[in-house]
Amino acid sequence: MQLILLLIPWLFGLGLAQSWRLAQSQSTIRTTTLHEGSAWRYTLSPVGEEAKALWEELSSQYQALLRAGHRVDLGRWRLYFLGGSLRFEPHCPKATLPCFTLAGVAYEPLRLGGFFHELDTLLGRALSEAQKKPRASLTLIRLVRLELEEGRIKAVKPFGWKP
């Protein structure tokens, strides 16, 4: 039984190997008060042809759902419009496949589970790191950009599409 429990993460690892990349960079910002500060940028993007094709299909459907007023579940987070503003809030305490909006994508559950698991893990890591910085942005390519100040999300904006 213990061997099976140890193999499950390993099997997920095979299905998601290198599906997502988290890039981190820092830049100097000059504000209107001429104070300089550094801002951190975290960018999450798919890697490899299969992951890019899957994310292109999913993100297009997610954009359509958001435009239509529906929510999009991204594991431990939920994305939706309320009063004309895009919101990004906690959703599931633990990311499992039912905690993601599948949007009718036809993929093997193991492959899709691994893809989403890696997305959730890196999104959580990036958000945690961004919250430790005075200023930061977190971008999930083709879907959303979060702007953070002093650990709090100040703005949530569509990225790569218009509502």
Q: What is d(CA 134, CA 57) in angstroms, rounded to the nearest whole number?
A: 34
| 79, two tokens | 């994305």
Quick check: is 163 in a domain? no
Encoded amino acid at 100, one letter: F
CB 68 within 8 A of CB 74: no
Say what the pTM is: 0.83
Res. 153: pLDDT tops 60:
yes
Instruction: Give the residue numbers spanning the domain of 12.
Output: 2-158
Quick check: is 119 in a domain? yes
CB 22 within 8 A of CB 44: yes
Quick check: is 34 in a domain? yes
Q: Which has the minimum average pLDDT: 2-11, 89-98, 118-127, 129-138?
A: 2-11
Quick check: is 96 in a domain? yes
Task: Count structural domains, the chain.
Answer: 1
Quick check: is 31 in a domain? yes
Go through the chain and tell me how many residues it has: 163
pLDDT of residue 76: 97
Q: What is d(CA 135, CA 154) in angstroms, rounded to the nearest whole number?
A: 10
- Of 60, 88, 78, 71, the C-alpha closest to 157 is 88
pLDDT tens, position by position, 29-45: 655 544 556 899 999 99
Quick check: is 62 in a domain? yes
Quick check: is 21 in a domain? yes
pLDDT tens, position by position, 63-74: 999 999 999 999
